[in-house]
Amino acid sequence: MQADQTLDCMGLYCPMPIVKTADKIKSLKTGEVLEVVADDPGIRQDMPAWSKATGHEFLGIEEAGKEIKVYVKKTHE
């Protein structure tokens, strides 16, 4: 999946990937996509829940080995 920016959260555990995502998404323009790369399995549930709670669009998950990539589109300021 194509992303406008990438956030490396490898080695971080809940809640840090969500905390860092919330901060990073502020720097994106509406409509841009953020790729979050993590190895914490909890991100599979945490990111869709965070996206729903904040009104941003959760686009999906890609996995390769221990690396989990999640994609979120910024839908508002």
The pTM assigned to this predicted structure is: 0.96
> Which pLDDT score, from 0 to 100, does residue 77 have?
93
Catalytic residues: 14
> Which pLDDT score, from 0 to 100, does residue 36 have?
99
Range of the domain at 23: 5-73
* Residue 47 burial (10 A CB sphere; 0-12, 13-18, 19+): buried
> Which pLDDT score, from 0 to 100, does residue 66 have?
94
> Which pLDDT score, from 0 to 100, does residue 9 have?
99
> Which pLDDT score, from 0 to 100, does residue 34 have?
99
Residues 3, 34 contacting (CB under 8 angstroms) = yes
10-66 pLDDT, tens digit per residue, is: 999 999 999 999 999 999 999 999 999 999 999 999 999 999 999 999 999 999 999
